[in-house]
A and B are shown apart, each in its own frame.
Chain A
Amino acid sequence: MSKLDGKLAAAKDLFLKKYETFESGLNGSYNAPFNETRKSALNAFSNVGLPSNRLEDWKYTNISPLLKHDYKLSATARNLTADDLSKFLFEGLENNLMVFVNGRFNKSLSNYTVAEAGVVVDNLRHQVDSGSDVVKDHLSRHAGFEEEGFVALNTAFAHDGVFVSVPDNTEVAEPIHVLYISDSADGEFFAAPRNLIVAGKNSKVAVVESYHALRGSDHAYLNNVVTEIVAEENANVEHIKIQDEDRQAYHICRSQSHIKRDSKVTQINIDMGGRLVRNDLNMEMSDQNCEAELIGLYMGTGRQHIDNHTFIDHAMPHCLSTELYKGILGGKAQGVFNGKVMVRQDAQKTNAYQTNQALLLTDDAVINSKPELEIYADDVKCSHGATVGQLDEEALFYLRSRGIPRDKAHSLLQYAFASDVLGYIGLDNVREQLEARVVERFHTL
């Protein structure tokens, strides 16, 4: 057994031990069916454990830094006021806000009024407790945990998260903002946010999910997130995730989208924070004429390690997927991109396009990129392109010769590189505000 294997086994045992405490903390509040799921997930976790970098899917990401902490299952956060949150909010979305602090729903900070009839925006725990049919039909039905250690861990320990259910033929006018705040002043902690978004037939909804830490969060923490998205026939879902965790934080996220006939899901992922970040973004196109857009921008500096794995599964004919991922890496940051597109035998007339590009700003930054195409149908148009490079010296010189200072020229060019990613955001005010934050971040790279 290698050193890493030992650490992985020890961490697994620690979590298994903690489950009892966790379960008793549930106070029987979770209803029976989901408790059964938790138990199977715990069982699966006990079988597969945490991933070692000997697995092809974890080849470039060694999770050992994450293993050396003794995470508490609940951590007390400082008392927060609305002012503390203000810098994390989006202008215009203040009244559509769901707030979670250290994985717990905070009702007093949340502010959500449902405008459209039948739309449910709630915390998941409440929906599970009240025996919601949508929960029964969809929770843990899409993100399989049998082979996935972190998904199993989340499913067993899932505490709370956002629940969005949109009835058929309903367009939700205002985007929903889900804000996850972490405060580790109290000590190292583990949270398992669990989100479920179900959009009914002919419906439309947009959700912005953001992860931030409070200043002075001195300890490491682990956010192990799972989000399931279901788009029923002819639905349109836009999901924007902004990950700006503390630089000591570990963020492991799995999102699973189940896309039905004629529907479209757009996911936009902006990664800025975190010490070690791993996103697994899966899109399953289960019927004809679906569309998936998977768009990402990651920025790393210092010793950040940001790993994005995407998987687009074309199972049926006449679907389109577009994937665009860009990374900017400075300091000693490490980036990983693994984008897999699978076109199964029945998925004729598939169009799948993937582009991933990385900019290395320093000699110590590293990118490992693996775009994969696995194709079993013949009447398809698939392509992928990957490039790694640096800022164009010619362009830099040109800008400077026009009087623009070096660092400004740098961020201008970085912005030029990243702007088409942000261009995919359909919500104008979110895009503009996000652009400003991203540009600000460029100065720190």
Chain B
Amino acid sequence: MLTIKNLQASIEDNQILKGLNLEIKPGEVHAIMGPNGSGKSTLANVLAGREEYEVDGGEVLFDGEDLLDMGPEDRAREGLFLAFQYPVEIPGVSNANFLKHAVNEIREHRGLEKLDAMDFLTMVKDRLKLVEMDQKFLHRSVNEGFSGGEKKRNEIFQLAVLEPKLAIMDETDSGLDIDALKIVANGINKLRGEDRSFLVITHYQRLLNYIVPDYVHVLVDGQIVESGDKSLALELEKNGYDAILERI
């Protein structure tokens, strides 16, 4: 589903990703861990197409197509979803209105009928339950005045509504208390499926207690230095990054 080959990227002339390789197949959950500044968020932003990041080399194929060639909205329409580390506030635009636009753009791209107001509401109300949120939430402006936990839950809710093929979770767990973390993880687990893959970027192992990954990768200085299964995460938790760095 996603193939990253020798990806190199920089921001403001600082090279961050230095030849990253990764293969994600349908239905798989991959976790990427790494110390601060190793390039985790850069990877998420480059995949989503944020313009400040310059791709200096390598290629990324998404379902066989050149992802780097597409604008951010086309990537979204093709089924790539980024749960933002810092979700953006859009004053005056209600969640419902925002999502209705997004859903219909994506449906149109997939050759589906646009949803009318009633069908849309039925669908979103159903998905709200997944993140244990109240309906009032639909009428609030996108992320405006939300607590940190609400913002993160809103990202999962949007994920549920937009039904992507690949969801990239950029430090979705940071700043959450344990209850909120459980709700978020629960939402993600319910959304796992044969056709949906996840790339979970995190700094802490604790999220992986709730979302059990098929693969864990360690990112250091812009490269994946080690890959393994969930036991690698536990080892990291126990011995820290230094131990791994020493080993390699």
Do chains A and B make direct contact within the complex (CB under 8 angstroms)? no
Using a CB–CB distance below 8 Å, which chain B residues touch chain A? Answer: none
Using a CB–CB distance below 8 Å, which chain A residues touch chain B? Answer: none
